[in-house]
Chains A and B, each alone.
Chain A
């Protein structure tokens, strides 16, 4: 295209004229390591023998079905009947599948119709029932919002509570370090302040109310208003499952400090450690009677179909429940949900199936239960393989993976490696991870993407490589690591 005499003006939209809060936000889960992995994938596609490894192994993101995990049959059966109702007559589905699909269709008419802004009321009722069953305390479907994945709910909620500094406030979100960078990224885009509270690696990634106090008081001293506390349980990237007493302690702390509790509980079905049990924050709060009295606790819990054993990341199903939040605030969240006319109906239906699965006696129960155990048992096995494998590497130590889907080992890097990284203009853990992907095809996320204690280095690797690939992956990692240490030894 000849531009000729016409001067190419700089575009009015460019990096220097984009919203600076967007620019300042970071989200490393899909950062430079992934880009390198994608380039390597292209290279291997065009010339399969060109590298010393045969494939790229994407261990950077909790995306089970991209690594061969199969969807749960009952889920897909119900969905296919909702999408193509004529199939209910022409193919043979279990009666509980058909009944379920018909119940949803009765309310929505078609998967192609916008549902109510807060989501299909039958599904919200199912979630309310699930919460009651799980915790022993009732829930109100009016306080439940269905969203395109839990992430969307987190964004809406933060958007509602973080006030722009121009309004005279400096609102902060207390976030665990290390944390899943949805929180840091979203807070940055909203021009809020992130106030870290550090999880204690030596103590199995726990934190106590003392740590929370330190963070809170530090913030207040700087003229910042802590509005919410984020807790991820089971932890991401850290994998700890909080003991019931700790859950209660944190809930009580939030009530005492007047800070909204944001409980990210998307991994609640992924608990592997023997003896460990998931305790929901809402249960703990009700147990301690935190919602009554003058200054009740205010909280929001998030859940999703992306994790657990469903692993339906691509369907984008999630929800949040408000507790102790005044109706007038709920109406503001309702307004935000209305602007996008609600979340996708398929995701909403999967959410319903997740919280109300086949029961013993139902036609689909046996198969459902078998598929469920197979996946959870396999995840548990792989969590051990990965953890053991990482702990066998020199200078690497990995806490027990109590839950979630990740290992987050700490790596001691030789001084020379740190210097080489600096010379290359990269953080030491990023440098390590880039070398790893280039030499083994294994794609992980450097610890800096989640933040970490100053002077420590980590990376996050998923436990999701299929069973027939995970040993090989650990082997490749081991060989790489030893080679790397050797290269940079003192």
Chain B
């Protein structure tokens, strides 16, 4: 029987929900908090821990901010000078949104998102993939992360429901699965072959989970990969779709980096791949896909706009997601308009088209150059090996650590890569995320850095990584020889 004298304070860490306690999200974990503390002491910090382009000086696309500012302040449209301050297509676009978004940015929209904007998204999917897409199967939310969380909340019924997640993975997935009390079923990517997918590994992960009594309900993959940066090909995606169909799982395609591609390989969407497959796969494989305004050349992280597209998903299930979305009333409307602008950019012939395309091109070319530079730099360091960054925004080098250092970490009760990152921060101001935050093959260590610092600072930053590592080797000795690797 509960009685008040049992606790001196009602709410303590001890009686916080265990699910919350077991949730871990290191992208803003120990290193980041140490970095913030350091910044507050007036020391320099370079935040390379989050894919946050604008925070590192990336410029927003001009057209987007023009339209958004007009939708934000419609009175500007009545200003006689507006035609000289804004291009005509930005003005026209703003008027379109004001016509179709009742009450403008300040009114709650449909809980699933404004229908006009969801139609723009459907049109985008149709153009991109040559499929028929419907706005009824598209929900918008405050970022793709919120869509992911809502989806996982609906599918995880209890501790015996599992979700397959790549290792390494973006820890939204591991954290959300823990938060909703499910079981994370990891499948290792093969680092040496550019973090490739090995279907045998997936099969054995699934089998092991099932042997433990877990019902695996979904499989997540991230393409382009985060933190790993690989781009999948059509065969990979087909294999995943077939695998999910045959094992009665939903395929969850996290495609938020689809506009960050640095190789000649084109982006392969799950939706398009599925449409090209024969029956029974085409009509029976359950698929959800996620996209966001936060990445790509758009980089509008702070506006929080993302969507989920349901394909071959039961309507009853979608209704439950709708109900869950309703409790939040409405996704933020600014982010929704940003989504519309992302999926429906200025067309050829429109006044802003050329500038828009050249801004996009410049951004991607620059990211491509930075990706190459940092990967080459890591590969030139002793005991460091780094797979190419084919896409996304990160580099995820593997660092072989000297025995002395590993032991020091152990004695401090820290994961060795955490300690590496703390020392890196201390010496260089660089705030990265240790590989343990993404999970990795046991006995291996990685760090994740973004490729986002501006190009004119990039050489300096690469230099800092290099000189830190050289000093590190001098301090702690040469790294251990390659250990035989056991995956499972």
Contact = CB atoms under 8 A, between A and B. Distances in A.
Interface of A: 1, 3-4, 6-15, 17-20, 22-23, 25-27, 29-30, 61, 63-67, 71, 73, 76-77, 79-80, 83-84, 87, 90-91, 108-117, 148-149, 151-152, 155, 159-164, 166-167, 181-182, 185-186, 189, 220, 223-227, 257-260, 294-296, 298, 306, 311-316, 324-326, 328-329, 332, 335-336, 338-341, 343-347
B111 interface: yes
Interface in B305-322: 312-314, 316-317, 319-320
Given A15-B316, A79-B73, A161 B17 contact: yes
A1 B281 CA distance: 13
B332 A315 contact: yes
B320 A112 contact: no
A114 B104 contact: no
Contact of A167 (B18, B53, B85, B334): B18
B11 A298 contact: yes
B159 interface: yes
B45 interface: no
B20 interface: yes
B212 interface: no
Contact of B72 (A23, A79, A112): A79
B55 A338 contact: no
Contacts of B156: 19
Given A112-B302, A345-B303, 5 more contacts: A11-B312, A14-B317, A113-B52, A316-B332, A343-B304
Contacts of A22: 153-154, 320, 323-324
Contact of B75 (A25, A73, A181, A294): A73
Contacts of B334: 314-315, 344, 346-347
A339 B108 contact: no
B142 A148 contact: yes
A314 B105 contact: yes
B11 A260 contact: yes
Contacts of B102: 66
Contacts of A83: 65, 68-69, 72
A116 to B, nearest CB: 8
Residue of A63, A259, A312 ringed by the most chain B CB atoms within 10 A: A63
Nearest to A305: B106
B219 to A, nearest CB: 12
Interface residues of B, number: 106
A344 B313 contact: no
Contacts of A90: 85
Contacts of B2: 220, 224-226
A336 B76 contact: no
Nearest to B66: A84
Contact of B332 (A67, A84, A189, A344): A344
Which A-B residue pairs are the 3 nearest by beta carbons? Answer: A84-B69, A15-B316, A314-B333
Interface stretch (B23-31, B118-126, B353-361, B413-421): B23-31
B485 interface: no
A312 B106 contact: yes
A1 B283 contact: yes
B474 interface: no
Nearest to A2: B279
Contact of A182 (B76, B106, B180, B327): B327
A114 B327 contact: no
A80 B145 CA distance: 26
Interface in B174-225: 175-176, 179-181, 217
Contact of A159 (B17, B279, B316, B326): B17
Contacts of B286: 11-13
Nearest to A87: B69
A110 B50 CA distance: 15
A151 B328 contact: yes
B85 A6 contact: no
A315 B159 contact: no
Nearest to B109: A314
Residue of A67, A108, A111 ringed by the most chain B CB atoms within 10 A: A111
B69 A311 contact: no
Residue of A6, A83, A324 ringed by the most chain B CB atoms within 10 A: A83
A160 B14 CA distance: 11
